[in-house]
Amino acid sequence: MHIDATLHVSTLYAFALVLARISGLFVFLPIPGLSAGPVVSRVVLSLVTTFSLFPRWPETLTTPANIAVFAGWLIAEAGLGLSIGLAVSFIMEAFYMASQLISAQAGFSYASTVDPTTQADSTVLIVIAQLIAGLLFFATGLDRQVLVILANSLESAPPGVFALTRPHVEALLMMGGCVFSTGLRLVLPIMTLLLLVDLSLGMLGRLNSQLQIFSLALPLKTLASLGLLSVSALMYPRVFSQLSTTVFGVLRSLLGT
């Protein structure tokens, strides 16, 4: 008995659209070590994720009228994937920005190391922030939440139907603003302490000009920053969870998941 395997054209269209959405997601998704690895690994990861979500593919997909319509669908799907990946990357960028704000003031701009992500010279605090954010990304289960939102979006916003609108762009810009507010909130106590150290040393230098006070500024600021960083690191998981809850709440409301 012969079995004829048939593959509908709509299935091929669904595969291409879902692959475009997932590929766009992995462009900005801040998975530690993903961007530093070979490009083939990201292609394979996109294909494996696409096939694993086969039960969520649209069962009935309208055949596009022409290639221009299908190209528009691909652009919309890639834009949706990019938006999700960019929103998740905002969570990590808040910690990167916090480290960048105090790297120079705390004296760590002279201590550079190789960034494992970009293979370029970077300050020690930024590399530490990347490692901490990467660990929190998996420790808080953010990787599973991304897959859940991606799978649910295939039903709430099926490929070929979703279109980027102004509310989506405004919500993305609002989440981008959270990067600056959260990063500043993380390092505001350290910045205040460093300012007080500078003011105290400046006043001592004015009282007695014979004292070589400013030669002690760099080691004092470095020690004070390390001490306060070790204490404030205890609240990093809570801030990371709060920011991720806000970002994923906005994504769920926009995608209707």
CA distance 132 to 237: 9
Give me the pLDDT at residue 34, please. Answer: 67
Distances (CA, A) of 146 to 110, 188, 217: 37, 30, 45
Which residues is 121 bridged to in the sheet?
114
pLDDT of residue 111: 61
Q: Return d(Cα 32, Cα 116) in angstroms, integer.
A: 9
Flag whether pLDDT at 1 surpasses 50: no
Highest-scoring range by mean pLDDT, 17-26, 52-61, 97-106, 247-256: 17-26
Whether residue 170 is predicted with pLDDT greater than 50 in this model: the reply is yes
Alpha helix segments (H runs only) across the chain: 9-28, 39-52, 67-103, 124-139, 142-156, 166-207, 217-232, 236-255
Separation CA 26–CA 211 (nearest Å): 56
pLDDT of residue 114: 55
Domain assignment present for residue 4? The answer is no
Q: Is residue 1 part of a domain?
A: no
Question: Does residue 27 lie in a domain region?
Answer: yes
pLDDT surpasses 80 at 151 = yes
Q: Under 8 Å CB-to-CB from 210, ≥6 apart: which residues?
A: none
Contact 98, 123 (CB under 8 A): no
Closest to 115 measured CA to CA, from 128, 132, 105, 104: 128
Residue 216, pLDDT above cutoff 80: no
Most confident of 99-103, 212-216, 248-252: 248-252
H/E run at residue 121: strand 121-123
Is the pLDDT assigned to residue 142 strictly greater than 60? yes
Q: What is the pLDDT of residues 22-32, one digit of tens each?
A: 888 888 887 76
Longest CA–CA separation in the chain, Å: 101
The string of DSSP codes covering 214-235 is GGGHHHHHHHHHHHHHHHHGGG
Question: How many domains does the structure of the chain reveal?
Answer: 1
- Could you tell me if residue 2 is inside a domain? no
Range of the domain at 33: 9-255
Mean pLDDT within 135-160: 86
| CA gap 233, 186 in Å, rounded | 9
Per-residue pLDDT band at 45 (split at 50, 70, 90): confident
Percent of the chain surpassing pLDDT 90: 0
Report the pLDDT averaged over residues 103-124.
64
Phi, psi of 255 (to 5 degrees): -90, -10
Residue 225 maps to a domain? yes
Q: Does residue 3 lie within any of the structural domains?
A: no
Residue 15 is assigned to a structural domain of this protein: yes
Please report the pLDDT score of residue 211 as a whole number. Answer: 66
Name which residue leads in pLDDT, 177 or 104: 177
Query: Rounded distance, CA 46 to CA 25, Å?
Result: 9
